[in-house]
Amino acid sequence: MSFIRVSSACPVTRVADIDFNLNSIKECIDIAEKSNSKAIVFPELSITSYSCGDLFSQRQLLNKSKDAIKSLCEYSQEKDILIAVGAPFEHNYALYNCAYIIFNGSLLGIIPKIYVPNYSEFYEKRWFAQGKPFYFEKVDLDFQKGIPFGTNLIFKCNEIKLAFEVCEDLWVTIPPSSFLALMGANIIGNLSASNELVSKSDYRRNLVSSQSAKNLSAYIYSSSGVYESTTDLVFSGHLLIAENGTILEENHRFQRNNEILNSIIDIDKLNAERTKNVSFRDSTTMFNLTPEIIEFNFNDITIGNFDRKINKHPFVPSREEERKKRCEEILNIQSSALAKRLEHTGLKKVVLGISGGLDSTLALIVAVKTFELLKLPNENILTITMPGFGTTDRTYNNAVNLCKELGTDFREINIVDACVQHFKDINHDADIHDVTYENVQARERTQILMDVANKESALLIGTGDLSELALGWCTYNGDHMSMYSVNCSVPKTLVRYLVNYAAKYTMTPVISDILLDILNTPVSPELLPKDSEGKISQKTEDIVGPYELHDFFLYYFIRHGASNEKILFLAKQAFKGEYSQETIEKWFNSFIKRFFTQQFKRSALPDGPKIGTISLSPRGDWRMPSDASYESFK
């Protein structure tokens, strides 16, 4: 596992007061180091301040700036933190706006700003020259010789590769960080002085998020604070840390004290994304890019308290408003996909097996939405409930009432007699409640649904979800099979939110009450007889384990190709206080075994729409040998 804690800092400054600014910067470094941060990014020209104007042509200011860099190098001795600080740099009769990279007493490199703005409120070309793209040379200062100076510098410590750009460089058509990422940098720092205008912070946030997503990188952004404000411009000290399109941390702007924003970056995750993304790999070969690698070593990569928030339901957005939008989008994808299949086949009817459980309920919601799109009557949705040996009154009544309230063509076909006859035909004792006893019922139901679909010229809709497919929790050629499977890439944890969304926003009060009761019913295939009180005796999560754990395992196993060690570490962080370490390890081992041994079912899946980043369809996202051993994954 390769985690690193990083910081974005906004020190209190005074325009042109270098001693004051230097002391604030040192205070921020000390705070960040105490939190086990390994890299800290300061704003653009934070040594002098950005708003010096024509003072940048004054020898006194420039000399004091150089002295401050020397002092900061000395201050950094024995400190295990990489420092990126902004200051001017004189070279060949030109002045450059630069990022100085300092570590453990040494100046590792100086990076000039490439794009120097000279429009609207910006007038930088009056003072600063442009850095050359893909450029490198070595320069000298009074206190250190042979310092790397250029725009292709990457600072490497094992798998951690940092690079830096300055403010405007991010805002151009192709930011330098795009090329730096293709050269290997997985953490980008931006030293910025971005003034505030109405709504500019939203655009800035989107830029940082988008750039980290396109580069499959982390992005540390630091902008000048309120004390930089002068004359006509106001600055807010906007701090952002992003990772692959996600804003991990963001501050409240306009603070009036030294501020340090910390976050933990997952280097393994970023590197895994790049390995998987063929387009990123291909992009690295399209340009003749040669980085200047500057190697250094942290003494201790320990991150201290692991305070990065790990979403225990990674398939489900944590914020209510985002969940609502996600649910609406998923239902649109599902219904649009089903509508296309119906239009293509020319069929006007669908068949669904309705159990009163979550998955078939979601499939029915999708069918209703689809028929609304196609302007077809709900009577063309043939809903069939098929009570068996374990069907309880609660699920039966919910199935019946839901179908009738939605106005579907509801039918009931009891499968008990047919299953008893089949037990006789295959010489199976009906008192032996084994896998044969259960699968006979599942296959009987599928046979009925298939035959009714043929009889009615209808499409049989499959109801099984992604979590069940991952675990193989379905009967081969039973509920495993259909003519089109609308839930096949929706994990169980997300199914719950989709049904809840429909109950809350799209259905009548009566239907909503039914949906809420279905949500509160234990997940079960109801293939074993009811208990003495007529309640569900076979609870899926008692047998295969909690679905929220399995969905968590599935996400990190497939999406990030994470090692067992990392998956377990993250699970223990996410479910701290909810499941013991032993419980998490037990169900993870079960997940691995089931995932490998049940691949043969996924190798024969019917068509179904891809919903999110993870799909187990053998025709696209997941191509795995049915006979792969799980021994190496224990």
Q: Is 203 annotated as a binding residue?
A: no
AA letter at 3: F
Q: Is 492 annotated as a binding residue?
A: no
Q: Is 375 annotated as a binding residue?
A: no
Of 465, 480, 456, give the one whose Cα is nearest residue 366.
465
Q: Which helix (H) or strand (E) holds 265?
A: strand 259-266
- CA 176 – CA 278 distance, rounded (Å): 21
- CA 114 – CA 96 distance, rounded (Å): 9
Beta bridge pairs of residue 98 = 87, 112
Of 445, 476, 502, 507, give the one whose Cα is nearest residue 603.
476
Of 210, 157, 224, 312, give the one whose Cα is nearest residue 10.
224
Q: How far is CA 417 from the centre of its chain?
A: 49
- CA 190 – CA 86 distance, rounded (Å): 10
Using the 8-state DSSP alphabet, how is residue 631 labeled? G
- CA 450 – CA 481 distance, rounded (Å): 9
HSE-CB for 143 with a 13 A CA cutoff: 13
Of 365, 360, 402, give the one whose Cα is nearest residue 517.
402
- CA 272 – CA 475 distance, rounded (Å): 34
Q: Is 127 annotated as a binding residue?
A: no
Q: Is 475 annotated as a binding residue?
A: yes
Q: Is 493 annotated as a binding residue?
A: no
CA–CA–CA angle 175, 181, 185 (5° rounding): 125
**474 is written with which tokens?**
């379905």
Write the CA distances from 371 to 334, 347, 366, 601, integer angstroms.
12, 12, 9, 30
Q: Is 200 annotated as a binding residue?
A: yes
**185 is written with which tokens?**
């940098």
Q: Is 360 annotated as a binding residue?
A: yes
Of 182, 200, 187, give the one whose Cα is nearest residue 238.
200
- CA 56 – CA 16 distance, rounded (Å): 9
Q: Is 202 annotated as a binding residue?
A: no
- CA 386 – CA 121 distance, rounded (Å): 72
Q: Is 66 annotated as a binding residue?
A: no
Write the CA distances from 214 to 175, 263, 609, integer angstroms.
11, 20, 25
**347 is written with which tokens?**
């069929």
- CA 334 – CA 470 distance, rounded (Å): 20
- CA 159 – CA 168 distance, rounded (Å): 28
**Known catalytic residues?**
44, 113, 167
Taking every pair of Cα atoms in the chain, the longest distance, rounded to a whole number of angstroms, is 101
Q: Is 137 annotated as a binding residue?
A: no
Q: Is 468 annotated as a binding residue?
A: yes
Cα-flanking dihedrals φ and ψ of residue 414, to 5°?
-75, 130
In 3-state terms, what secondary structure has residue 223?
Answer: strand
Using the 8-state DSSP alphabet, how is residue 241 labeled? E
Q: Is 171 annotated as a binding residue?
A: no
Q: Is 501 annotated as a binding residue?
A: no
Phi/psi region, residue 422 (left: phi>0; alpha: psi -120 to 50; beta: rest), is alpha
Q: Is 355 annotated as a binding residue?
A: yes
Q: Is 13 annotated as a binding residue?
A: no
Whether the Cβ atoms of residue 25 and residue 48 lie closer than 8 Å to each other: no
- CA 534 – CA 537 distance, rounded (Å): 9
In 3-state terms, what secondary structure has residue 371?
Answer: helix
Q: Is 464 annotated as a binding residue?
A: no
Alpha helices in 114-199 (DSSP H): 176-182
Known binding residues for L-glutamine = 119, 194, 200
* Binding residue ranges for ATP: 353-360, 463
Known binding positions: 119, 194, 200, 353-360, 439, 463, 468, 473-476, 601
Feature table: binding site for deamido-NAD(+):
439, 468, 473-476, 601
